[in-house]
Amino acid sequence: MQIKLQGAKELQAKLSKRPQLLASKVRPIVKNNAAQLKAKTVANMEAAYTAGYSKGTTARSITNELSQAGMTATIAPHTEYFSYLEFGTRFMSARPTLHPAFAYQSVKFINQLKAVMK
């Protein structure tokens, strides 16, 4: 699953004109929001999977990878059955954990970027 933000090219164009802003403010925002997204996703998983069969493997498999430039973060679980948990199957209802965390965190992230760009 990949999610893109609209207006990212315009934001990158503005940031490329102000490299000191990029290094001092935007990269820490990306890093902090990525860490918060991972933590919120893990917390959602712990709350959603309190049944006795859950071992926490998917929550432990989540990684937070920052690009070398520090402008991109990838938060991803690495179990082959994560999509079944997130979206459900015909035998099991969905128990979304990543999508609600992303919806919450993306609002904070965009507001922080807007504040920096003013």
Break the chain into its structural domains and give their ranges.
24-117
The amino acid that residue 19 corresponds to is P
Q: Residue 80: its pLDDT value, please?
A: 94
pLDDT exceeds cutoff 80 at 49: no
Average pLDDT over residues 67-72: 82
The residue behind tokens 């102000």 is 18
Rounded CA gap, 81 and 61, in Å? 12
**How high is the mean pLDDT of the chain?**
84
pLDDT class of 43 with cuts at 50, 70, 90: very high
Band of the pLDDT at 22, cuts 50, 70, 90?
low
- Structure confidence at residue 47 as a pLDDT band (50, 70, 90): confident
Q: How far apart are CA 20 and CA 17, in angstroms?
A: 9
pLDDT of the residue at 7: 62
Q: Which two tokens mark 66?
A: 């920052």
| Closest CA relative to residue 75, chosen from 59, 54, 88 | 59
Rounded CA gap, 57 and 65, in Å?
A: 19
Q: Pick the residue with more confidence: 12 or 35?
A: 35
